[in-house]
Amino acid sequence: MTTQADLYADLDLELSWSEHELPERERTKHVHRLHPYLGKFVPQLVEVFLHRYAQPGDLVWDPFAGSGTTLVEANAFGARAAGCDVSAFNCLLARVKTAAYEPAALLADVVRLSAEAPMAVSAPPSEYLERWFAPRAVSELLSFRERIAGTIYLDLWRVVLSRAARSARLARHDDLDFPKAPATSEYECSKHRRTCRPVEEAEKFLRRYVRDAVQRVQEFADVRSDEPVTVIHGDARIVEPPGAVDLVITSPPYPGLIDYHGQHAYAYELIGLERRDEDEIGRGVRGYCEGVAAALRRAAEALVPGGRVVVVVNDSRRLYDRILEEAGLQLEERLLRHVNRRTGRRAGEYFEEVLVARA
Ligand X SMILES: C[S@@+](CC[C@H](N)C(=O)[O-])C[C@H]1O[C@@H](n2cnc3c(N)ncnc32)[C@H](O)[C@@H]1O
When CB distances to ligand X are compared, the closest residue is 66
CA distance 303 to 196: 52
Report how far apart, in Å, the C-alpha atoms of 300 and of each of 44, 156, 253, 312, 325 are: 24, 33, 18, 16, 11
Q: Pick from 39, 78, 242, 262: which binds ligand X (CB under 6 A)?
A: 39
- Quick one: which segment of 142-150, 158-166, 279-287, 322-330 binds ligand X (CB under 6 A)? 279-287
Any bridge partners for residue 233, and if so which?
Answer: 85
- Quick one: which segment of 34-42, 104-112, 156-164, 173-181 binds ligand X (CB under 6 A)? 34-42
Count residues near ligand X (CB under 6 A). Answer: 24
Cβ distance to ligand X smaller for residue 35 or 80: 35
Residues numbered 119 to 158 that lie near ligand X (CB under 6 A) are none
Taking the mean position of all CA atoms in its chain, how far away is CA 281?
16
Q: Pick from 29, 33, 40, 112: which binds ligand X (CB under 6 A)?
A: 40
CA distance 189 to 173: 7
- Quick one: which segment of 10-18, 80-88, 145-153, 188-196 binds ligand X (CB under 6 A)? 80-88
- Quick one: which segment of 1-9, 65-73, 111-119, 198-206 binds ligand X (CB under 6 A)? 65-73
Q: Pick from 47, 212, 279, 290: which binds ligand X (CB under 6 A)?
A: 279
For residue 39, give every residue at least 6 positions away whose Cβ sits within 8 Å of its Cβ, in sequence order, or none.
Answer: 66, 251, 253, 257, 258, 260
CA distance 192 to 350: 24
Task: Determine the residue type at 320.
Answer: Y
Residue 148 · residue 131 · CB < 8 Å: no
Cβ distance to ligand X smaller for residue 106 or 310: 310
By CB under 6 A, is residue 69 in contact with ligand X? yes
By CB under 6 A, is residue 41 in contact with ligand X? yes
CA distance 300 to 263: 30
CA distance 47 to 64: 17
Q: Pick from 79, 236, 310, 329: which binds ligand X (CB under 6 A)?
A: 236
Burial class (CB in 10 A: 0-12, 13-18, 19+), 207: middle
Q: Quick one: CA dihedral 320, 56, 97, 17, positive or negative?
A: positive
Cβ distance to ligand X smaller for residue 27 or 147: 27
Cβ distance to ligand X smaller for residue 108 or 319: 319
Taking the mean position of all CA atoms in its chain, how far away is CA 260?
9
Question: How many other C-beta atoms are found inside a 10 Å radius of the C-beta of residue 310?
Answer: 26
Closest CB 51 distance from ligand X, rounded Å: 18
| Residue 11, helix vs strand vs coil | strand
Cβ distance to ligand X smaller for residue 63 or 307: 63
Cβ distance to ligand X smaller for residue 109 or 353: 353
Residues numbered 301 to 340 that lie near ligand X (CB under 6 A) are none
By CB under 6 A, is residue 67 in contact with ligand X? yes
By CB under 6 A, is residue 352 in contact with ligand X? no
Residues near ligand X (CB under 6 A):
37, 39-41, 64, 66-67, 69, 84-87, 90, 235-237, 251-253, 260, 279-282
